[in-house]
């Protein structure tokens, strides 16, 4: 039997009865789009994050894009504005910016945490910079005190891509509650995953929440009254019902992820496998457990040979993708090296201790190629 990288089936099997009851409730209601389930989930998720508003949307990419759209409608952002982003992120962070005809300015991460380095951010701020889009990569909060101070000093919006960080917190403040607005994804593999696509925008700004709620629904606030040229990107009733069940168990799941991470960090001792660091005062949500190894491909092959699945997040950075020839002259040596060296080990709330031990033992006997 292989050690799976992640198993959505095992995760959802734990609540199968509750999920099926919730699905039956939606089926029997006869109301499938923008109804009571979405409204209830929005209230519950906003309360979980500690913010005033949550707006359910179709997916995480749309959540990011609609935040920018919303700020455009409010006059706070405009086409051509520059937004500082980490160079090492999933491409959706970039797509949300270019979809809005704004300019992503990628910067190098901090080598220890893989997250945005406030010094590189400050160095990249120019006359057209209007926002910082921070990504809490792999479930770890970026250095929010320093980034918030920069945003305040330079009068920039601070937008969180929290797609990997549901429930990560510092001093009781949760991912999504630090910046001006935040985007979450409920893709099935995320820490809070739907049984399909889903996303949410969270914010304390009621003007922005109002814009996003209209924009996701053809730009309409009241039926057949259209304030904006909106889109159709709504969280549906079925996914909202699934998410309401799973939100109740999110903290328990994160606790289990922390347990797995602690076991890996205590158990793996290898001169060529660098372990991720977690600041003790923070609750890392451990969406992914990412090690660094100069012989990454050999390590992945070695683990595979022992029946252990692993993945690479991500093999090619956005500025090196064909989609972004406009960024081909950007040089981010650290980002590029990270993409060559990172490997994500199996991680999830249903990973058993004996499976974790197998992964640790397999890492211990890895021999670097000559």
Q: In this complex, which beta carbon is closest to ligand PLP, that of residue 93 or of residue 217?
A: 93
Whole-number Å distance between alpha carbons of 199 and 65: 11
* Catalytic site includes residue 190: yes
- Decide: is 89 part of the binding site for ligand PLP (CB under 6 A): yes
Site string for ligand PLP, 118-137 (x = CB under 6 A): -----------------x--
Does residue number 109 form part of the binding site for ligand PLP (CB under 6 A)? no
CB 308 within 8 A of CB 359: yes
Q: Which residue is nearest to ligand PLP (CB)?
A: 60
Position 92 contacts ligand PLP (CB under 6 A): yes
C-alpha closest to that of 234 among 207, 205, 193, 200: 200
Region from 17-25, 54-62, 97-105, 289-297 binding ligand PLP, contact rule CB under 6 A = 54-62
Q: Which is nearer to ligand PLP, 73 or 161 (CB)?
A: 161
Helix (H, G, I), strand (E, B) or coil at 309: coil
In this chain, which of 12, 88, 93, 129 binds ligand PLP, going by CB under 6 A? Answer: 93
- The residue among 93 and 140 lying less far from ligand PLP, judged by its C-beta, is 93
Q: How many CA atoms lie within 13 A of 272 on its CB side?
A: 16
Residue 290 to residue 261: CA distance in whole angstroms: 10
C-alpha 307/C-alpha 364 separation (Å) is 15
Q: Rule CB under 6 A: say whether 12 interacts with ligand PLP.
A: no
161 belongs to the binding site for ligand PLP (CB under 6 A): yes
Catalytic residue among 155, 190, 223, 301: 190
Binding mask 184-223 for ligand PLP (x = CB under 6 A): -x-x---------x-x------------------------
* Distance, CA of 8 to chain centre: 17
Question: Which run of H or E residues covers position 243?
Answer: helix 237-247
Residue closest to 181 by CA, chosen among 31, 328, 49: 49
Residue closer to ligand PLP, measured from CB, 90 or 289: 90
156-176 in b/e form (b: 16+ CB < 10 A) is bbbbbbbbbbbbbbbeeebbb
CA distances from 212 to 84, 161, 176, 183, 205 (A): 22, 16, 16, 11, 11
d(CA 265, CA 267): 6
CB of 324 to ligand PLP, least distance (A): 16
Shortest Å, Cβ 187 to ligand PLP: 4
Q: How far is the CB of 348 from ligand PLP (least distance, A)?
A: 15
- Chain positions contacting ligand PLP, by CB under 6 A: 59-61, 89-90, 92-93, 135, 161, 163-164, 185, 187, 197, 199
- Catalytically active residues are 190
């Amino acid at each position: 039997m292989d050690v799976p990288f992640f198993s959505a089936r095992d995760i959802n099997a734990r609540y199968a009865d509750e999920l099926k009851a919730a699905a039956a409730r939606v089926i029997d209601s006869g109301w499938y789009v923008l109804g009571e389930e979405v409204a209830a989930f929005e209230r519950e998720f906003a309360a979980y994050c500690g913010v005033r508003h949550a707006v359910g949307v179709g997916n995480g990419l749309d959540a990011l894009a609609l935040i920018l759209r919303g700020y455009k409608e409010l006059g706070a952002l405009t086409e051509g504005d520059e937004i500082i982003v980490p160079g090492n992120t999933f491409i959706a962070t970039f797509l949300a910016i270019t979809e809005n005809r704004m300019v992503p300015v990628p910067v190098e991460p901090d080598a220890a945490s893989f997250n945005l380095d406030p010094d590189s951010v400050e160095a990249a701020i120019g006359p057209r910079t209007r926002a910082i889009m921070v990504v809490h990569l792999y479930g770890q909060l970026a250095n929010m005190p320093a980034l918030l101070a920069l945003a305040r000093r330079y009068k920039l919006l601070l937008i969180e891509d929290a797609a990997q960080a549901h429930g990560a917190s510092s001093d009781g403040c949760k991912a999504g509650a630090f910046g001006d607005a935040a985007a979450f994804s409920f893709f099935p593999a995320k820490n809070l995953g739907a049984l399909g696509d889903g996303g949410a925008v969270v914010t304390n700004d009621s003007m922005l929440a109002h814009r996003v709620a209209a924009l996701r629904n053809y730009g309409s606030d009241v039926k057949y009254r259209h304030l904006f040229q909106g889109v159709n990107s709504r969280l549906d009733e079925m996914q909202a019902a699934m998410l309401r069940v799973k939100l109740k168990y999110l903290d328990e799941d994160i606790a289990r992820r922390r347990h797995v991470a602690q076991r890996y960090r205590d158990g793996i001792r290898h001169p060529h496998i660098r372990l991720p660091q977690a600041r003790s005062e923070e609750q890392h949500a451990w969406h992914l457990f990412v090690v660094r190894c100069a012989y990454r491909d050999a390590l992945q092959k070695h683990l595979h040979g022992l029946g252990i699945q692993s993945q690479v997040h991500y093999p090619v950075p956005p500025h090196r993708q064909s989609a972004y020839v406009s960024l081909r002259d950007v040089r981010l040596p650290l980002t590029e090296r990270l993409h060559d060296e990172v490997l994500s080990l199996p991680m999830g709330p249903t990973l058993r201790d004996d499976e974790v031990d197998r992964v640790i033992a397999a890492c211990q006997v890895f021999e670097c190629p000559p």
